[in-house]
Structure 1
Amino acid sequence: MLTRPFIAGAVIVATIAALAIGTYVYDHGRQETIAKGVTIGGVDVGGLKRAAAEAKLRAEILDPLNQAVVVDHGNKRWTLSAREAKVATNLTATVDEALLRSREGNMVQRAWRGVTGESIDAKLEPKVTFSDAAIIRMLDRVRRSIDRPAMNATVKYTLQGPKTTPSHDGLAVDATSLHRKIKTALVAPDAKRRFSAATRHVQPKVTEAAIEQQAATMLVVDREHFELRLYKNLKLAKTYSVAIGAVGRDTPEGLYHIQNKAVNPAWTKPYSDWVPKDEQGTVVPGGTAANPLKARWLGIFNGAGIHGVDPSEYGSIGHAASHGCVRMRIADVEELYPRVPVGAPILIA
């Protein structure tokens, strides 16, 4: 006959066995169920089975990531598709990880979590990959369409005086900022996927003000009309009659700059065939009757320059009569001298 203690013990054993079997069955049945408190990429997948979790992740993560990124500027638009960008995610692997995290602990602990709804607080992030080379190619397309170089102001020296062209600002895409926005859009499903390309103005290196300063003073020697024209601040200020080099001793054609200046300059007799050999290299003091460089000197090139002549030679003005220099009346060269700085351009044509 069974005793009461035996019967009680048997009941306890049977109850424990039943609980163990029930716990096992319950736990086994939840192998494909993600525990409460698990999120993937911010999406709550707790309590979902694999198929349902994957479907939810496709809708909330994969589908947005498969949308194209669009960049615009004015009425222009560029599109980078997910296919071209080679966007890919490991959602299936992340769901596998979520299920593994859900199985942490022993059977009893898992069953207890399931029964009580206790959360495990696991925040998982799927890995999103893309082709950075595809972004670079898109940036190149955008920049080719938008970028334009800054145009420097220029000056051209002509017989009619200095001719200037204005400067223009350039435009450049802020490629660094755009690159960052595109990368964010490719990996974040909730990121803005259409935005405008930011640009910045590029200042020219040479401005109109700089050109005006550079061409503030210009001289033109018009050999055909025996004129020297002075331009100040891009405008004709004065025209002088001059003599230029005789045939065979032509005043040198070209664009030069005033090299040096002097008042009553000394004159070194040149090593030329028109100077007696025993006098070549001789220095004649300035301000003397024997010195042909009267009053002022503005050097141009290789011994040629602008200078005054003795009044007895004023008859040569308006003719090709000098040894290569530009001759002026004394009053004229004295007036011109302070108005022309060293470095001023001079066009001889």
Structure 2
Amino acid sequence: MRAAIISLSTLVVFLTAGGITAYDASRDDLIATGVTVGGIDIGGLRAGEVRVLLDRRLARPLERPMSVEVEGRRFSLPARRARVTVDVEASVQDALAKSRQGGPLSRLARDLSKEPLGADLSPRVTHSRGAVRSFARRVKRAFDRPARDARLRYSATGLRRVRSKAGATLSARRLERRLSTELALPDGDRRVTARLKTVEPKVSTRELAARYPTFITVDRKRFELRFFQKLRLVKKYRIAVGKVGLETPAGLYNVQNKAIDPAWSVPDREWAGDLAGKVIPGATPENPIKARWMGIYAGAGIHGTDDTASLGTNASHGCIRMSIPAVKQLYRSVEVETPVFIA
């Protein structure tokens, strides 16, 4: 009798264990309740059903093109060009592996209690980083523009300010990151709005005057020197310039040095006659550099003259002559490095 009871107990255990095993095997391709892929609920579905569902709700939406809007303009990145791919089968296998965690008894207990597993799996979505990077750079090139510094245009008769202008830039790296994130979201709207960043000029229009506290222009045809302070015309002076063959050099120069009653180092030229190569002391009748000197280029400069009848003519050996009162007045206002434009 006792042996019969033991045999019956063994049979019950055997049948129970066999039932659990059979039950568990029947659910081998069933996804546990509470499992989602990218927010898509696949709990309680068979693997085949999951494949169909993920293809419809995950793979197909990811085939939509990505749209980028900047300043009212739109750019499209097709999924094919971005080489977007989603591995539905990998997501199915991930879900099955998650559902089959534990042993048959623990899975049975979970099924009986109807306790959700609570697992949200990330879909296996990939794209070409190179393609996305190339697209982001293309969008950037469409909008990037350098800032324009304020600058000065000068002519024989005056100065003109060219106003500064702000530029703009777009961060291709930030756009690339946002695109990469959006490309992996099947439920996203596939749209990214990017903003431009203002690029300020290094030199603003307001700062231009401070860069040019003084400026001189020389009009050789009109025999006129114009003096500007903070880009505003202050004074016009009658001058003499170089004669034919000894022309005052045209171009943009700077005041290199200044002197009061300087000595004159006579050039070793034919026109200098007996004075060639000599040094004539300042403030002497033989020295044609009267009162003040402002050197600008290779022996040429601005200086005073007592030959006021020569003003308004081509009379010098390359220098710019002014009356003595005029050159003294100009000298007081001009600093070394003052630009001198000769036209």
The two structures have a TM-score, normalised by structure 1, of 0.88
Alignment of 1:129-140 (within 5 A): 129-140=126-137
Q: 1:260 aligns with which of 249, 257, 265?
A: 257
> Matches of residues 177-188 of structure 1 in structure 2 within 5 Å?
177-188=174-185
Counterpart Cα distance in 2 of 1:129 and 1:158: 61
Match of 2:315 among 301, 305, 321: 321
Matches within 5 A, 1:191-270: 191=188, 193-270=190-267
SS in 1 for 2:271: coil
Task: Confirm or deny: 8 A CA contact 2:241 2:318 kept in the other structure.
Answer: yes
SS at match of 1:275: helix
Counterpart for residue 21 of structure 2 = 24
**How big is each residue's C-alpha offset from its partner over 1:184-225, in whole Å with a ceiling of 9 and x where there is no partner?**
101233545323211111112332234333444322222222
Distance 1:275 1:207 in 2: 49
The question of whether the paired residues in 1 share the 8 Å contact of 2:34 and 2:41 is answered with: yes
Q: What letter is aligned with 1:53?
A: V
Decide which of 30, 33, 58 is 1:33's aligned counterpart. 30
Distance 1:54 1:85 in 2: 23
Distance 1:214 1:14 in 2: 104
- Alignment length, in residue pairs? 343
Q: For the Cα contact (< 8 Å) 1:317–1:327, is it kept in 2? A: yes
Q: Structure 1 56/289 Cα, relative in aligned 2: closer, same or farther at 3 Å?
A: same
What 5-or-longer segments of structure 1 have no aligned partner? none
Q: Give the AA of the match of 1:258.
A: V
Deviation of 1:305 (Å): 1.1
Matched, 1:148 2:127: no
Equivalent of residue 335 in structure 2, options 329, 338, 341 = 341
Contact 1:161 1:218 in 2 (8 A): no
SS in 2 for 1:79: strand
**TM-score normalized by the length of structure 2:** 0.89
Counterparts of 1:72 and 1:216, CA distance in 2? 46
Q: How does 1:31-70 map to 2 (within 5 A)?
A: 31-70=28-67
How far off is 1:299 after superposition? 0.9
Identity within the alignment, %: 40
Deviation at 1:101, TM superposition (A): 3.8
Conservation of the 8 A alpha-carbon contact between 2:90 and 2:124? no
What does residue 301 of structure 1 align with?
297
Shift of 1:126: 3.0
Amino acid at match of 1:339: S
Q: Post-superposition, which runs of at least 4 consecutive aligned residues in structure 1 deviate over 6 A?
A: none
Structure 2 CA distance for aligned equivalents of residues 119 and 226 of structure 1? 97
1:234 Cα offset (Å): 2.9
Q: Partner of 1:142: helix, strand, or coil?
A: helix
> Retained in 1: the 8 A contact 2:21–2:104?
yes
